[in-house]
């Protein structure tokens, strides 16, 4: 039996776009929870198929407080989730994709974790990876994202450095307290919304990673962000097929600029004026300057670039903030080929 607190108001922020093949199954899995949500906010991003009508038909039959917002133009995933979250009035907010399927006790289980610890600001879980027919692909999200839960990365500082390296938190498994909204909104430009929320919550302190699998994460051709192991191979192939100074410099500059926004947000919020947040800022600034150096390796003399790469490798920065030795070797190869 999970710990339930009646005073909680649970909101679900769900975003849709041309999802008529899957949205009914997902929405019904949310409605039919053992602990139903108190509020469902759905932002449709100007769908051109039957998504909106399917949603209307379902909402007309239920007693849960619901809001369907139809965007007049396409906002994109991040802005659409930002809009949905702004309309939520609950003190605990779950984010939901249109094409997954929640296990029936997801809300009840996650809510109990918030009730058990008042300091918990954000919870995320593992999930089953399934095909478009919900058939198991014999994998789970944390394996696909290479999330080393068993190595005790759940401490805030360890999780922060992992998140600075890559995102391991998907919005499909995330829930957070509404007090985070004043810190996370608006989302930083260039960040995926779940990565941004997770990293801000980690800096603030109070993130719980739960190994229980609370959703079926559906893989199909229309996923915005797919959780396949093959995706890593495709990205690697794409990396080596785009050797140009302009392309690689732009790629590095984008992340450098993203980190700049993160530093600015932290420094502007008094809620981050704590010892743990100050230590977190130091790690972020280490990452920031690492990417600043990487953004310049194609604009400096060859030997200067090589020396800087080796310095960052020896200091452990490639391990902390990129892909370790593999990333350093790729940088050396790319500097050699371009220069």
Provide the 10 A C-beta neighbour count for residue 284: 20
Predicted pLDDT of residue 103:
98
Report whether 9 contacts 92 (CB < 8 A).
yes
- Delimit the domains of the chain by residue range: 10-218, 230-338
9: left (phi over 0), alpha (psi -120 to 50) or beta: beta
Distance CA 10, CA 201 (A): 19
Helix (H) or strand (E) holding 161: helix 156-165
Q: Across residues 273-280, what is the average pLDDT?
A: 78
- CATH classification for the domain delimited by 10-218, as one of 3.30.365.10, 3.30.1370.60, 3.90.550.10, 3.40.50.300: 3.90.550.10
pLDDT category of residue 224 using cuts at 50, 70 and 90: low
Paired with 125 in beta bridges are 210
Distance of CA 224 to the CA centre of its chain: 12
What are the tens digits of pLDDT across the range 136-177? 999 999 999 888 876 556 555 589 989 998 999 999 999 999
pLDDT surpasses 60 at 247: no
Q: Across residues 201-225, what is the average pLDDT?
A: 86
- How many helices (H) and strands (E) are present in the chain, helices listed first? 14, 9
Residue 81's nearest CA partner among 171, 216, 207, 214 is 171
pLDDT category of residue 101 using cuts at 50, 70 and 90: very high
What are the tens digits of pLDDT across the range 181-194? 999 999 999 999 99
pLDDT category of residue 249 using cuts at 50, 70 and 90: low
Residue, of 63 and 296, whose pLDDT is higher: 63
Q: 3-state DSSP call for residue 282?
A: helix
E-only strand ranges, the chain: 10-16, 39-44, 65-70, 92-96, 101-102, 122-130, 136-140, 174-177, 207-218
pLDDT category of residue 205 using cuts at 50, 70 and 90: confident
Residues whose CB is less than 8 angstroms from the CB of residue 326 and which lie 6 or more positions away in sequence, other chains included:
none
Report whether 66 contacts 42 (CB < 8 A).
yes
């Amino acid at each position: 039996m999970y710990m339930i607190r009646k005073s909680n108001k649970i909101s679900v922020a769900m975003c849709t776009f041309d999802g008529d093949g899957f949205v009914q199954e997902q929405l019904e899995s949310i409605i039919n929870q053992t602990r139903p949500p108190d509020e469902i906010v759905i932002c449709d991003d100007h769908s051109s198929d039957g998504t909106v009508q399917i949603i209307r038909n379902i909402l007309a039959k239920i007693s849960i407080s619901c809001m369907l917002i139809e965007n007049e133009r396409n906002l994109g995933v991040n802005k659409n989730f930002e809009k949905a979250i702004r309309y939520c009035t609950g003190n605990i907010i779950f984010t939901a994709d249109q094409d997954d399927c929640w296990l029936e006790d997801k809300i009840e289980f996650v809510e109990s974790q918030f009730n058990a610890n008042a300091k918990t600001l954000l919870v995320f879980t593992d999930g089953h990876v399934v095909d478009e027919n919900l058939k198991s692909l014999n994998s789970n999200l944390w394996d696909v994202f290479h999330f080393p839960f068993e190595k005790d990365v759940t401490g805030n500082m360890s999780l922060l450095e992992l998140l600075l390296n890559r995102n391991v938190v998907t919005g499909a498994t995330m829930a957070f307290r509404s007090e985070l909204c004043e810190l996370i909104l608006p989302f930083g430009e260039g960040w995926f919304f779940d990565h941004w929320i997770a990293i801000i919550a980690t800096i603030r302190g109070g993130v719980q990673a739960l190994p229980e699998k609370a959703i079926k994460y559906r893989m199909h051709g229309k996923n915005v962000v797919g959780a396949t192991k093959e995706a890593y191979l495709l990205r690697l192939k794409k990396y080596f097929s785009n050797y140009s100074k302009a392309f690689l410099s732009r790629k590095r500059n984008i992340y450098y600029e993203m980190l700049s926004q993160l530093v600015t947000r932290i420094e502007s919020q008094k809620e981050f004026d704590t010892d743990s947040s100050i230590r977190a800022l130091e790690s972020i600034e280490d990452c920031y300057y690492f990417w600043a150096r990487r953004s310049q390796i194609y604009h400096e003399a060859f030997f200067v670039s090589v020396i800087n790469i080796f310095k960052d490798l020896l200091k452990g920065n490639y391990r902390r903030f990129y892909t370790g030795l593999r990333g350093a070797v790729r940088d050396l190869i790319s500097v050699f080929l371009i220069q």
